Structure 1
């Protein structure tokens, strides 16, 4: 069995008799969402609150799965998706990229297939970026500016490390203005290296922007500017915008016709 326990949380888990795989697997918890079923198995997420020796509650997410596998090229026969997520979290830690904090991880074989547990600290002071959209225009301009700058900087740092999230949606960017670490990335299950940095940077930013509704052109340009400070792979914000426009997003957020569509429109061809 592969097992990891953060020493910072070992005493707390032991105090509540939850420092072993069997204990965490069998504890009854309320699920925060419907179980994922597929890939021949299942995967669940539950919330766990533990009081420390001072009586202060600490919140965690307990993720459990059975025979819920991915098959990267390094593991053609499959490995638990939580195993890859744990590995990516530790990789991001190595590069100083803020994400969630792992308290416990382990997986073991069973007759039903591999079982895995991943326990992470809840991001108690943070909210997903999507929560800011409905009231975006009511936010303090300074807060708007901070969100744009910090988000652009973190995505730029990520790509400067030649890494991609591969599922970078606004709901996976968590914000806590005023905290020492104001932005964190979550759900690293699909994260991996960049093999073609410029192409993959554009693809990831395009995917992210397509799900951003309320940001103006100038706000997007501010995001790009701080991205390029951390990852100067394009010569200017204008060039970055042009390349994104070719991929269908761009600074305005409006989908533009592809090059072949534009050619058909110019020539009058159907």
Structure 2
């Protein structure tokens, strides 16, 4: 299978990129877990220029669909989602390298290497560390607005995250009050998929986020308001 690559973090030939990144080792930030017939985990690496990278390493970790009845590495599906969401203005990690090859036993080995989201933290951590109190209520409202707009843009493109928890929504705020700058990015997109309708994607993800988040009722209503303003219609069952 041909190797897909974005950018040139190190000076190596195109044919050697997979081998180069596969040989890299770093600290495990997500220990390998066994599922989907193989293993998948995430290591922290550093580029030759000192940039922090995250490398998702997989062996035999595949999904099957009508397009790929014999299986395809899940990082390739994640790469597809990242690139599609980037094109519709949704914040996602920058891909340094993505590729997959079969080993001597014909088992898939696959990699997805992305740059760290500098200055970002997941939404759960942001609340737990006092981000709301530190930045103030005006900035918090801007945060809810940007989260709502980000999710709406994803769903309008008929993409469903499929695992939308607070820990997968990363935020960065600079400045205070109404002048604050808010950035939002989505992570862990290996289960993302296209739906036949934007409404179907919206219903699944937004209900899932509500079940697995600790938003206060008033904050959730604001988030839904901002979301629906961009989405353009009401989503039943979100109240």
TM-score by length of 1: 0.78
- CA–CA distance in structure 2, aligned partners of residues 206 and 106 of structure 1: 33
Q: Which has the higher strand share?
A: 2
Residues 142-181 of structure 1 aligned to structure 2 (within 5 Å): 142-178=138-174
Q: Point out the structure with max Rg over C-alpha.
A: 1
Task: Provide the residue aligned with 1:222 in structure 2.
Answer: 222
Once the two structures are TM-superposed, the CA of residue 194 in structure 1 deviates from its matched residue by: 2.1
Aligned-pair CA distance for 1:221:
1.8
1:65 is matched with which residue: 58, 65, 76? 58
Residues matched between the structures, number = 230
Aligned partner (choices 117, 121, 141) of residue 127 of structure 1: 121
Say if 1:98 and 1:181, in contact at 8 Å, map to a contact too: no
What is the CA–CA distance in structure 2 between the aligned matches of 1:60 and 1:225, rounded to whole Å? 36
Corresponding position: 1:82 with 2:75: yes
Report the counterpart of residue 109 of structure 1 in structure 2: 102
Q: Does 1:35 align with 2:53?
A: no
**SS of match in other structure, 2:10:** helix
* Bigger shift: residues 117-126 or 94-103: 94-103
Q: What residue in structure 1 maps to residue 231 of structure 2?
A: 231
Q: Which has the higher contact order (CA 8 A, sep 6+)?
A: 2
Aligned to 1:189: 190
Q: 2:149 touches 2:227 (CA, 8 Å); kept in 1?
A: yes
Cα distance in 2 for residues equivalent to 1:99 and 1:35: 23
> C-alpha root-mean-square deviation of aligned residues, in Å?
2.3
In the alignment, the residues of structure 2 paired with residue 31 and residue 40 of structure 1 have an alpha-carbon distance, to the nearest angstrom, of 21
* Structure 2: stretches of 5+ with no match in the other structure: 175-179
Q: Distance in 2 between matches of 1:204 and 1:50?
A: 34
Residue 17 of structure 2 corresponds to residue 20 of structure 1: yes
The 4+ residue runs of structure 1 with deviation greater than 6 A are: none
The alpha-carbon distance between structure 1 residues 188 and 109, as it changes in their structure 2 partners (threshold 3 A), is: same
